[in-house]
């Protein structure tokens, strides 16, 4: 079944380019020319993914994303924007976006990111524990890849798809140092200096959710000049 995508961008040329290439790739595409129209369509229609500009009339992309996530938290958002500083990207992820591409972009990269996000979100369609095929356990942490669920001491932890992919990779190599290059390749499938910085942003977000004290992590350890390591820490019952 064709996936339904929504493109929200006030630049007509970019909107039409994306619509053409995504349609040629087999997706069903809808568009909106400003933030207010995009939010209305996102909330009132069924989409599998939203491609969202930031600087737009009527409502900026950060606010659109926050509103989408407030009502449809499982709808993936891919931001496409000329605002490319690390602070801008952090704002994008803090607003709930799953991924972020800076303009001008390579359309093949956009297609790759769309496929990855749809694959991740698609694995959450079936949330029945009875049908889980794989469970990973490291210390207190349990991860259920078939329906994107994570628990720590039986308490559910809500992760973004990217945070889930990072944790999944680290759990597959638990108690072993995983290089930044391996993480980038397994999570995104490509490598660049800029994405190393964004990987660290995502790791910081992951620590906020799995660590009692993110500044002094016990699970997700930094390995200097290498990458990260997940340790099989188990907290004693109080």
Does one domain contain both 25 and 109?
Answer: yes
Q: What is the pLDDT of residue 42?
A: 96
Q: What's the confidence (pLDDT) of residue 129?
A: 39
Query: Nearest to residue 218, comparing CAs of 143, 161, 138?
Result: 138
- Domain assignment present for residue 42? The answer is yes
Do residues 157 and 199 share a domain? yes
Q: 38 and 117: one domain?
A: yes
How many whole angstroms separate alpha carbon 26 and alpha carbon 48?
A: 13
Q: How far apart are CA 96 and CA 77, in angstroms?
A: 8
Tally of structural domains, the chain: 2
CATH number of 195's domain: 1.10.10.10
Note whether 16 and 84 are same-domain residues.
yes
Instruction: Name the one residue in this structure whose structure tokens are 């053409």.
Output: 20
Please give the pLDDT value at position 4. Answer: 94
Asked if 95 and 119 touch (Cβ cutoff 8 Å), the reply is no
Residue 235 lies in a domain: no
Q: Indicate if 139 and 211 belong to the same structural domain.
A: yes
**Same domain, yes or no, for 55 and 139?**
no
Which pTM does this prediction carry? 0.58
Beta strands in the chain (DSSP E): 4-8, 28-32, 49-52, 77-81, 99-102, 136-138, 141-144, 149-152, 155-157, 178-179, 220-223, 227-230
CA distance 223 to 233: 16
Q: Are residues 85 and 178 in the same domain?
A: no
User: Are 94 and 41 in a shared domain?
Assistant: yes
Question: What six digits make up the tokens of 130?
Answer: 């009875």
Which among 96, 122, 148 is the end of a domain? Answer: 122
Domain boundary among 70, 88, 122: 122
Cβ-based neighbours of 36, under 8 Å, separated by 6 or more:
58, 59
Q: Distance (Å, rounded) from C-alpha 110 to C-alpha 190?
A: 12
For residue 114, being part of any structural domain is answered with yes
User: Which pLDDT does position 131 carry in this prediction?
Assistant: 41
In 3D space, the residue among 21, 63, 9, 67 whose CA is nearest the CA of residue 42 turns out to be 67
CATH code, 100: 3.40.50.2300
Q: Are 48 and 101 in a shared domain?
A: yes
Of 122, 145, 169, which residue constitutes the final position of a domain? 122
pLDDT for residue 118: 84
Is-contact 214 225, C-beta < 8 A? no
Cis omega before residue 104 (within 30°)?
A: yes
Q: Is residue 238 part of a domain?
A: no
Domain span at residue 51? 4-122
In order along its 238 residues, the chain shows pLDDT tens digits of 679 999 999 999 999 999 999 999 889 999 999 999 999 999 999 999 999 998 898 999 899 999 999 999 989 999 888 766 677 777 777 888 888 888 888 887 788 788 878 877 764 444 443 443 567 888 888 888 766 678 888 888 888 778 888 898 898 888 889 999 888 877 776 545 557 888 898 999 999 999 989 999 989 999 999 999 998 766 554 4
Tracing tokens 């989408």 back to the chain, one arrives at 68
């Amino acid at each position: 079944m064709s996936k339904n995508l929504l493109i929200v961008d006030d630049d007509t040329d970019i909107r039409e380019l994306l619509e053409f290439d995504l349609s040629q790739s087999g997706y069903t595409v809808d568009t909106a020319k400003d933030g207010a129209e995009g939010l209305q369509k996102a909330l009132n229609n069924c989409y599998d993914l939203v491609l969202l500009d930031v600087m737009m009339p009527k409502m900026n992309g950060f606010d659109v994303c926050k509103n989408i996530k407030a009502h449809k938290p499982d709808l993936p958002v891919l931001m496409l924007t000329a605002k490319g500083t690390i602070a801008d990207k952090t704002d994008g992820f803090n607003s709930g976006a799953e991924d972020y591409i800076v303009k001008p972009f390579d359309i093949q990269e956009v297609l790759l990111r769309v496929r990855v996000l749809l694959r991740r979100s698609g694995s959450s369609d079936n949330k029945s524990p009875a049908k889980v095929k794989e469970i990973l356990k490291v210390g207190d942490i349990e991860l259920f890849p078939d329906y994107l669920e994570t628990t720590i001491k039986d308490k559910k932890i809500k992760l973004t798809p990217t945070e889930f992919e990072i944790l999944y990779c680290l759990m597959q190599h638990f108690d072993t140092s995983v290089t930044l290059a391996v993480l980038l390749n397994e999570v995104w499938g490509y490598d660049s200096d800029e994405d190393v910085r964004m990987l660290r942003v995502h790791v910081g977000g992951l620590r906020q959710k799995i660590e009692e004290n993110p500044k002094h992590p016990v699970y997700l350890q930094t390995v200097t000049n290498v990458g990260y390591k997940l340790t099989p820490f188990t907290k004693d019952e109080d």
